[in-house]
Amino acid sequence: MKKIDSRRLYLLYAFVSGLSDKIVFTTAVIYRLEEAGLDALQLVLVGTTLELTVMIFEVPTGILADLYSRRLSVIIGTALIGIGFVLEGSLPLFWVILLAQFVWGFGYTFTSGAEQAWITDELGVEKAGKVFIQARQAFLTGSLLAIPISVALASQSLALPYLVGGSTRVALGLILIAVMAETNFKARDKAKRETFRDMFETSRKGWQSIVRNKRLIIFSVIILFVGLYSEGWDRLYGAHLLENFTFPSLWGFEASTVMWFGLLSALTLIGGILANEAAKRMVKTTDTKQIMSLLSGIHFGMVAAMAGFALSGHFTWAVIAILVFGILRSTSYPLESAWVNQQIDSEVRATVLSMHGQIDALGQISGGPLIGYLGRLTGVRTAILSAAGILLPAPVLYVWLRRLSGKPKNE
């Protein structure tokens, strides 16, 4: 089969990934509660299993991508994610769900870093910046289309979204085998390859590229703060809505909480698509000062939205805060990817990106239980406020990064 243009394939990959993932995740909580009968502790353990898997395997799989092939790493990871989804939907038992988290978390570590490294090598760092924004739009568009599909499938069987979404991911992996090219990556010469020694050397070079670059050190600290706050928000914002607000009718019709959550998800995705379109048109992705200024403002807005949501006593203002937060969060991802890929040498790009993923996972494992325990002791509002406080250093650090723009990497 003829190879597809790298840019178009990356956008297709992002679209199908968003579609398949959202088909699964839209009704995942309902499946785990109603079909598998998980309690609160088991739900937390499911998330912890996933993040531990990511933390353990993130760097080794990133090193393999740098040594052997980014293309192969993306293909393996895509297929494993799909297999993990199908496994969870096949049998609603706690141990099976834990095993599924391991499988798809392991698969995620193959794609994490490798997909960004692949497209950056194929297009070059200057062109890749815009494509990251376009890919985010494609991912959100696929996610938006997935919501009604997931609801329709779940109305027949709560396991169906897992089976359909997972099968879609596996099919994507098979398609990539036939149409994905890798033209600008040079694997280590087989005759000179010493697997464990090469892995250690690549890891060492990846670590050195961070510690010798002040900007990457600061960015790594930002990632840690992002990981520390994110589990608290992701796990608790829904609980805050359910516990402290009465859901009104929707355009004169009685609306269930499921409908409201679906609507919020859809509106956030639409807002994210529009925000990323504005960024694509207005942001020069090679202008470090502009990106750092935007990221500082975005993260300050996220902090304000979380605090406003926690303190709000009115449903309308709470919904607005959720939408603002979700749209800003969605816009930050491609801008961060565009900037950080410009800071990393090609030979260790996937390794360094995987190290960043490991830092994020460590933050989530550390921060999530602490914020959750605080919520148990003092209430959900206080826990969400604490998550906002944890993220507060991020916009300040982005200002610092802006001041370092144009200076040597190790200054």
Domain CATH code at residue 218: 1.20.1250.20
Which among 107, 104, 92, 105 has a CA at the least distance from the CA of 42? 92
For residue 194, being part of any structural domain is answered with no
Residue 50 and residue 56: Cα distance in Å, rounded?
A: 10
Give me the number of domains the chain comprises.
2
Are residue 144 and residue 229 in the same domain, yes or no?
no
Are residue 11 and residue 135 in the same domain, yes or no?
yes
| Tokens representing residue 274 in the block | 């529009």
- Using an 8 Å Cβ cutoff, are 344 and 127 in contact? no
What's the N-to-C CA distance of the chain in angstroms? Answer: 49
Domain of residue 22 covers: 1-178
pLDDT tens for the chain, 411 residues: list them.
567 788 899 999 999 999 999 999 888 877 887 788 877 567 767 877 888 898 888 777 777 777 788 889 999 999 999 999 999 999 999 999 999 999 999 999 898 878 888 888 888 877 887 888 889 889 989 999 998 898 888 888 889 999 999 999 999 999 999 999 888 777 655 544 445 555 565 666 666 777 778 888 898 999 999 989 987 787 777 778 777 888 787 666 666 666 777 788 889 889 988 988 888 888 887 788 888 999 999 999 999 999 999 998 889 999 999 999 999 998 998 888 888 878 877 677 767 777 787 888 888 888 877 887 787 788 888 889 999 999 999 999 999 988 887 655 555
The contacts of residue 358 (CB under 8 Å, 6+ apart) are 54, 55, 58, 59
Are residue 90 and residue 163 in the same domain, yes or no?
yes
- Using an 8 Å Cβ cutoff, are 291 and 285 in contact? yes
Are residue 357 and residue 277 in the same domain, yes or no?
yes
Which among 67, 72, 22 has a CA at the least distance from the CA of 204? 67
Residue 304 and residue 198: Cα distance in Å, rounded?
A: 45
Are residue 273 and residue 329 in the same domain, yes or no?
yes
DSSP class of residue 3 equals P
Domain termination site, one of 178, 198, 222? 178
